[in-house]
Amino acid sequence: MNETRSAESGPRSPADQPRHVSTRERLLDAAERLFGEQGFAATSLRAVTVEADANVAAVNYHFGSKEGLLRAVVERTMAVVNGERMRLLEELRTSGHQPTVEELVRAFVLTGARLVERSGERGTDVARFLGRVMAERDPAIRRLFGAEVSPVEGRYLEALQAALPQLSPDEVGFRYRSMVGLLGLYQSGVLTDLHPGRAVAATTANADAERLITLLASAFHAPPTTG
């Protein structure tokens, strides 16, 4: 087993998984864990295949390359979120009124905030993976992630621009990117440890998500930037 695994997550071997788990799924699980713990560049295909009890030929067969494997991990991780976000946006669009900023922010944030919970046993790995991908220094990795989510997220940006006619498209775009970044930090769990002085009181995930929605909706409603 890969010796670079973190002590927190503990070793996982193929024997820990049900026998029906396919080679493809084992590769996705292993890549999700290792990319999240070590980053894409620092994780070798050999480490992934050892973790998954597979070989490089299996990676090439199922995904074509290491980059293809990363793309498949992102696609699997975000598929449920993308589908739910699109469904909620269509419901808002057909509700008989123009979606408000609060409605759009709530739909966008809650689907992302609940991703870790929906992922079950993979929740910790998913959170770490998302945080790592969004913070990757290689712009090609961030573009790969963006390509997977942009078709849906672009619709939300358009809806927010329509709901905020007093702001320029550039202003709304900046606030939207800030929302995505802050949500990414929240999903990864980083915000829990970012506090000055004494430790913050423990809260439920739902309470924290509601606070995030309040904060972001207020940010969108802030006056236009001058100067």
Low-confidence ranges of the chain (pLDDT < 70): 1-20, 190-205, 227
pLDDT of residue 197: 59
Specify the DSSP class assigned to residue 167.
Answer: S
**What single string gives the DSSP state of each residue in 76-142?**
HHHHHHHHHHHHHHHHHHTSSSPPPHHHHHHHHHHHHHTHHHHTGGGHHHHHHHHHHHHT-S-HHHH
- Using CA atoms, how far residue 221 sits from 21, 120, 171, in Å, is 47, 35, 11
pLDDT of residue 3: 37
pLDDT of residue 200: 52
Q: Which two tokens stand for residue 209?
A: 């998500």
Specify the DSSP class assigned to residue 15.
Answer: G
Phi, psi of 35 (to 5 degrees): -60, -40
CB 169 within 8 A of CB 161: yes
CB 34 within 8 A of CB 43: yes
pLDDT of residue 15: 42
- The Cα–Cα gap between 105 and 123 comes to 23
At residue 40, the 3 state secondary structure works out as coil
- The Cα–Cα gap between 54 and 46 comes to 9
Q: Which two tokens stand for residue 80?
A: 């449920």
Query: Residue 209's Cα: distance from chain center in Å?
Result: 15
pLDDT of residue 48: 97
- The Cα–Cα gap between 99 and 111 comes to 17
C-alpha triplet 26, 114, 110: angle, nearest 5°: 145
pTM for the structure as a whole: 0.78
